[in-house]
A and B are shown apart, each in its own frame.
Chain A
């Protein structure tokens, strides 16, 4: 488990003073994947460097399994870093070393014997599904394979925390999906706390249990993915789902936006809504999916001549939130910021 307590990073002094990270507080439990999203310049890379102790925080602390790592001397720090495995963006491999030699790096730095290293490297490469690529150089591997080597390397010293710094950025969707699946598998098998820093909202949806949005060095919103998606007022929840255009309602109908707010929404809510209102309800656009086994959904419907208060009450009884307009915070804008 890793926790940040009031983590603050300030660069410069006086007029030049810039607060890059402003009193961040969150923790990632063992077996949890916590995503941090935010636009470029929000402080994501500084956060990553503070977490893997490459940068010292100005104040506040980073705790791994309850132990404060931010007050250590340079030499102790080198040892402490080994508890946190870091996966870098895909260019983090040494070009003159084979996949196996890259995975062996942390063991080599630690001074592990050659025989032990060989065994551990073979085991790690097997775990990420690259046993047959041990002798390949980075340029002979695909982006996804390179990232798998990076993951194997990050796991070499059996860390309890895995930090993924834009690990899937620049990968094609298929590779991203396979890396995400691998991370989830490792999380389950090894009980890792994974801090997943990214700017890609759709990857967050695939990988994370919880998410926090970082903006101008502060966490502006955070929560469990499913809860955010079920909260129609949540800006982050809206940013997480792609903004799709929908059909417009007939001239005599009113447009309503409906979101699932609970797990107990009946699958035939549309018919039930129409029955109980005694009117026609037309479906203009919808997306219903399961995230981590929980159903979430959003729909635009056109309703002819129904009493608004009655409609809201009926929707509520079905586990739905209904409103006549999209909440003010434009999801498209957040997406754009995030990209």
Chain B
């Protein structure tokens, strides 16, 4: 009896939980991996998604280069990218990923499916933001002698910027989520740590640490995004400068 008690209360040889003191060393490099992964992906997403979104928007009826056939085709391709759950997309394009990166594990391999999912997502966000710009502004630009590229830059993208940044925030957060899913196929990052330590080894402390870090990361991204939206919207920017009483008065007018 006493032997049994001693075995149960003593240090368990089978328990290979990460000691609390070692958790930062495990979690922070993983967070850095996640940030690098999401950073690279978002760079690609913005570089491809903004022109693609503007193109889809302007191929639509009423757009600058109205072309129903091309619009339908592009729209379908984007929709397919949007409709596959990320886990399935990731598995489905493994050959393509290997063709591009030469591997199907690690950060490089995760960037490919994440970029594809992210571009499809962001294209729709850009398209939707551009739809919110009053059509009069395009007419104003045309009547002022603007070229199509000038119209897209000044009348469409610039006016939609706050809305696009808002969408970019949502997109970035979704990519952090996707990076965790990519972690399950050994992409590294915080998702990988959560799965291998927290889930497969039942190490609740590590699991908790990854959750805290993910929540903090997502909250910071949201905070930065909201701040940028406010900075790029003259209306809210000038309102924020007013003292509270004046603001309340302004909202009543």
Chain A positions near chain B (C-beta within 8 angstroms)? 49, 52, 54, 78-79, 81-82, 84, 86, 88-89, 91-92, 94-96, 105-106, 108-110, 137, 139-140, 153, 156-157
Contacts and interface: CB of A to CB of B under 8 A. Distances in A.
B146 interface: yes
Nearest to B237: A137
A153 B137 contact: no
B240 to A, nearest CB: 13
11 contacts: A49-B139, A78-B146, A82-B145, A88-B140, A94-B140, A95-B159, A96-B159, A96-B234, A105-B141, A139-B234, A157-B145
Contact of A109 (B137, B146, B159, B235): B146
Contacts of A92: 136-137, 139-140
Interface string B134-148: 101101111111110
Contacts of A91: 134, 136
A26 B224 CA distance: 57
Contacts of A79: 145
B158 interface: yes
B150 interface: yes
A108 B147 CA distance: 11
Q: Which of B142, B158, B162, B233 has the most CB of A within 10 A?
A: B142
A150 B130 CA distance: 22
Interface string B35-65: 0000000000000000000000000000000
Contact of B144 (A49, A89, A96, A105): A105
A106 B145 contact: yes
A82 B162 CA distance: 30
Interface of B: 134, 136-137, 139-147, 150, 154-155, 158-159, 161-162, 232-235, 238
A110 B139 contact: no
Nearest to B236: A139
Contact of B235 (A49, A95, A153, A156): A95
A95 B232 CA distance: 11
The 6 closest A-B pairs by CB, nearest first: A106-B144, A137-B234, A86-B143, A109-B146, A82-B145, A92-B140
A52 B234 contact: no
A78 B143 CA distance: 8
Nearest to A139: B235
B147 A78 contact: yes
A253 B147 CA distance: 69
A324 B140 CA distance: 51
Given A78-B147, A96-B159, A105 B154 contact: yes
A281 B149 CA distance: 71
Contacts of A82: 144-145
Given A109-B147, A157-B145, A137 B137 contact: no
A248 to B, nearest CB: 46
Contacts of B142: 54, 81
Given A94-B158, A95-B234, A95-B235, 17 more contacts: A54-B142, A54-B143, A78-B147, A86-B143, A89-B136, A94-B140, A94-B155, A94-B159, A96-B158, A105-B141, A105-B144, A105-B146, A137-B234, A137-B235, A139-B234, A153-B140, A157-B144
A58 to B, nearest CB: 18
A137 B145 CA distance: 23
A264 B134 CA distance: 52
Nearest to B150: A109
B118 to A, nearest CB: 26
Q: Which of A49, A105, A153 has the most CB of B within 10 A?
A: A105
Q: Which of A92, A96, A106 has the most CB of B within 10 A?
A: A96
A54 B137 CA distance: 13
A79 B162 CA distance: 32
Contacts of B145: 78-79, 81-82, 106, 109-110, 157
B233 to A, nearest CB: 8
A109 B194 CA distance: 53
A109 B144 contact: yes
Contacts of A95: 159, 234-235
Contacts of B143: 52, 54, 81, 84, 86, 88
Nearest to A90: B136
Given A78-B147, A105-B144, A96 B137 contact: no
A106 B144 CA distance: 5
A54 B150 CA distance: 16
Given A88-B136, A95-B235, A96-B232, A109 B141 contact: yes
A78 B150 CA distance: 12
A96 to B, nearest CB: 6
Contacts of A94: 137, 140, 154-155, 158-159
